[in-house]
Amino acid sequence: MNDPLPTPPPTRIGIVEDDPHLAEDLRSMLEEAGRGILCVGIAKSAEQALEEFPALAPDLVFLDINLPGMGGVECAGHLSALLPELQIVMITVFDDTEVVFKALSAGAIGYLIKPVTSERLQQAIQEVRDGGAPMSSAIARRIVHTFRETPATAQSEVSSNLSTREKEILELLAKGYLMKEIAEEIKIAHDTLRTHTTRIYKKLHVHSRSQAVAKFLGKIH
pLDDT in tens, 189-218: 988 998 888 888 888 877 677 777 777 766
| pLDDT reading at 151 higher than 90 | no
Percent of the chain clearing pLDDT 70 (strictly above): 81
Q: What is the pLDDT of residue 1?
A: 46
The secondary structure of 70-99, three-state, reads CCHHHHHHHHHHHCCCCEEEEEECCCCHHH
Topology given in CATH for the domain delimited by 150-216: Arc Repressor Mutant, subunit A (1.10.10)
- Return the CATH class of domain 11-140: alpha beta
Q: Cα–Cα distance between 221 and 204 in angstroms, integer?
A: 9
| pLDDT reading at 72 higher than 60 | yes
Nearest to 60 by CA among 140, 105, 115, 126: 126
Q: Cα–Cα distance between 190 and 201 in angstroms, integer?
A: 17
Where do the domains of the chain lie? 11-140, 150-216
- Average pLDDT of the residues in 168-194: 86
pLDDT in tens, 20-47: 999 999 999 998 877 789 999 999 999 9
The answer to whether 133 and 170 are in contact (CB under 8 A) is no
- Average pLDDT of the residues in 173-194: 86
More confident site: 70 or 8: 70
Q: What is the pLDDT of residue 148?
A: 56
